[in-house]
Amino acid sequence: MRLRSLFLSICLTVVPLAAVAAAQQPSGDFVPVDETVPGEQIPALPLIATAYGFIWVGVLGYAWSIGRRLQKVESELAELESRSK
Residue 5's alpha-carbon distances to 14, 17, 76, in angstroms, are: 14, 19, 66
Q: Would you say the pTM of this structure is higher than 0.75?
A: no
- Reduced to 3 states (helix: H, G, I; strand: E, B; else coil), residue 24 is coil
Amino acid sitting at position 67: G
Per-residue pLDDT, averaged over 26-50, amounts to: 73
Q: Give mean pLDDT, residues 4-29.
A: 67
For residue 33, give the nearest of 42, 23, 24 by alpha carbon.
42
Average pLDDT over the chain reads 81
pLDDT value of position 42: 73
In Å, how far are 72, 84, 85 from 81, measured between CA atoms? 14, 5, 7
